């Protein structure tokens, strides 16, 4: 049986951790152009276990996943189109037993306890399973895994390298019987392009590829003596820019040391790019990797600043007060330049912040912070 810590899986895939393998491979906003094929996860695990038993124990034993169980939680007002909601819907569509608990505010979710109890329960039932596969990286499961092994069951760990506690991996822990199954090594097998994301047969580009495509387009127009307008000709590229960066202008603003923008009041304008090869250089030229790193660092600082302010305010503050706080720290202009406004910044970081739109009988728009610090030990 497969036992999935749904909250851990969500934050591992969508938490935008430093050097996140999913974001690095498919780019920011990958969930809008790709989806996780949960039908393939049991197949992958069964194949890996069969291969290891064949190599280590010289047995041709057939491995069958009899059931996949997931435990997770979400707020009652979670948007139906949010990545979290779509993740668990995908599990249900693949016939997983998904147990969702509804939380209010910052109450304890008890997901780890519920999942551990489920594993112990089935371990006590004769013939329920021979191997328990835990999809998580949380060391809090170690006592349960140890007890399961004392009942004559085998244990396997399926995790991600940058989200897995080292305590689960050491042989002295005595909590597993197989080598870890790293999801990082099988992303192309598990994460598939959405059929309706772009036109049939349209190529999917990573974040770095999008940056290269736009720079090449602008440079070609400049060398040909044409004004590099703010319209990108490739429709597929434009669609992906809109999906991942909420618009072309926001994309240019994300890389201010690469692109120089001059917009008119009607929204049209001209774009020039620094290429280090004699092209237009209104600012000091910077390499693509350097710009990406600087943008990531700037975003992290903004996240920390907004997070700290919201915590000081009890977790909730109006957008006006958040803006005033950023302005007092000299960060508001940078946020507007890089993300085209506070709303886009919060929407981009939906794993950290939640936007509550105003109603007719309530005050101004409110922003509520959702903590992810409980997973920081695996970063």
> Quick check: is 245 in a domain?
yes
Of 147, 166, 193, the last residue of a domain is: 193
188 and 71 in one domain? yes
- The predicted pLDDT at position 57 comes to 84
107 and 37 in one domain? yes
267 and 181 in one domain? no
> Quick check: is 271 in a domain?
yes
Distance, CA of 96 to CA of 3 (rounded, Å): 10
> Quick check: is 257 in a domain?
yes
Placement of tokens 């049991």 in the chain: 42
Which of left, alpha, beta for 240 (phi over 0: left; psi -120 to 50: alpha)?
Answer: alpha
> Quick check: is 200 in a domain?
no
**Residue 374, pLDDT above cutoff 80:** no
- The predicted pLDDT at position 15 comes to 63
Of 150, 171, 193, the last residue of a domain is: 193
- The predicted pLDDT at position 290 comes to 54
List, for residues 155-195, the tens digit of each pLDDT value.
999 999 988 999 999 888 999 999 999 999 999 999 998 76
Total of domains in the chain: 3
List, for residues 238-273, the tens digit of each pLDDT value.
666 665 555 666 666 656 556 766 655 555 556 666
224 and 181 in one domain? no
122 and 16 in one domain? yes
- The predicted pLDDT at position 75 comes to 83
Of 236, 263, 286, the last residue of a domain is: 286
36 and 73 in one domain? yes
> Quick check: is 202 in a domain?
no
**Residue 361, pLDDT above cutoff 50:** no
Find the mean pLDDT for residues 365-376.
36
84 and 36 in one domain? yes
CA distances from 25 to 21, 29, 32, 168, 307 (A): 6, 11, 14, 26, 27
- Domain range for 226: 207-286
155 and 45 in one domain? yes
**367 Cβ partners below 8 Å, 6+ apart?**
310, 316, 317, 318, 319, 322, 346, 353, 354, 355, 356
183 and 323 in one domain? no
Find the mean pLDDT for residues 127-156.
95
CATH number at residue 238: 1.10.10
Structure pTM? Answer: 0.57
Distance, CA of 213 to CA of 207 (rounded, Å): 10
> Quick check: is 29 in a domain?
yes
> Quick check: is 199 in a domain?
no
List, for residues 297-342, the tens digit of each pLDDT value.
788 888 888 888 888 877 788 888 888 888 888 888 888 777 767 7
114 and 71 in one domain? yes
**Residue 196, pLDDT above cutoff 70:** no
> Please, which pLDDT band fits residue 102 given cuts at 50, 70 and 90?
confident
CA distances from 304 to 18, 81, 248 (A): 14, 26, 26
313 and 189 in one domain? no
Which of left, alpha, beta for 340 (phi over 0: left; psi -120 to 50: alpha)?
Answer: left
List, for residues 13-34, the tens digit of each pLDDT value.
886 566 788 888 887 677 777 8
CA distances from 359 to 29, 344, 356, 366, 367 (A): 28, 20, 9, 11, 14
211 and 186 in one domain? no
> Quick check: is 100 in a domain?
yes
- Mean per-residue pLDDT over the chain, rounded: 76
Q: State what percent of residues in the chain have pLDDT above 70.
A: 65
CATH number at residue 162: 3.40.50.1010
């Amino acid at each position: 049986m497969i036992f999935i810590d749904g909250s851990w899986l969500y934050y591992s895939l969508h938490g935008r951790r430093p050097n996140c393998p999913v974001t690095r491979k498919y780019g920011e906003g990958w969930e809008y152009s790709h989806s996780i094929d949960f039908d393939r996860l049991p197949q992958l695990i069964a194949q890996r276990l069969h291969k290891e038993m064949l190599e280590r124990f010289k047995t041709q034993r057939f491995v069958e996943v009899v059931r996949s169980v997931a435990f997770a939680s979400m707020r009652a007002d979670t948007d139906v189109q949010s990545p979290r909601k779509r993740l668990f819907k995908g599990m249900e569509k693949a016939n997983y037993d998904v147990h969702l608990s509804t939380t209010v505010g910052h109450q304890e979710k008890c997901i780890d306890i519920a999942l551990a109890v489920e594993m112990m329960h089935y371990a006590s039932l004769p013939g329920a399973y021979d191997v328990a596969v835990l999809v998580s990286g949380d060391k809090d499961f170690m006592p349960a895994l140890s007890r399961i092994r004392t009942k004559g069951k085998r244990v396997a760990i399926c995790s991600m390298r940058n989200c897995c506690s080292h305590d689960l991996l050491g042989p002295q822990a005595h909590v597993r019987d197989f080598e870890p199954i790293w999801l990082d090594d099988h992303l192309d097998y598990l994460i598939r392009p959405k059929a309706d994301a772009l036109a049939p047969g349209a190529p999917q580009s990573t974040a770095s590829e999008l940056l290269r495509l736009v720079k090449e387009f602008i440079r070609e127009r400049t060398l040909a003596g044409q004004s590099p307008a703010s319209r990108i000709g490739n429709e597929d590229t434009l669609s992906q820019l809109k999906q991942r960066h909420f618009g072309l202008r926001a994309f240019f603003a994300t890389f201010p040391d690469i692109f120089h923008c001059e917009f008119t009041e009607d929204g049209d304008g001209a774009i020039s790019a620094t290429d280090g090869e004699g092209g237009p250089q209104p600012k000091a030229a910077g390499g693509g990797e350097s710009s990406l790193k600087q943008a990531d660092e700037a975003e992290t600082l903004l996240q920390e600043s907004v997070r700290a302010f919201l915590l000081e305010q009890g977790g909730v503050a109006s957008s006006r007060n958040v803006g005033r706080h950023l302005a007092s720290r000299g960060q508001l202009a940078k946020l507007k330049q890089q993300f085209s406004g506070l709303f886009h910044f919060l929407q981009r970081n939906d794993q950290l912040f939640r936007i509550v739109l105003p109603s007719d009988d309530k005050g101004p728009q409110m922003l509520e912070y959702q903590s992810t610090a409980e997973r920081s030990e695996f970063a």
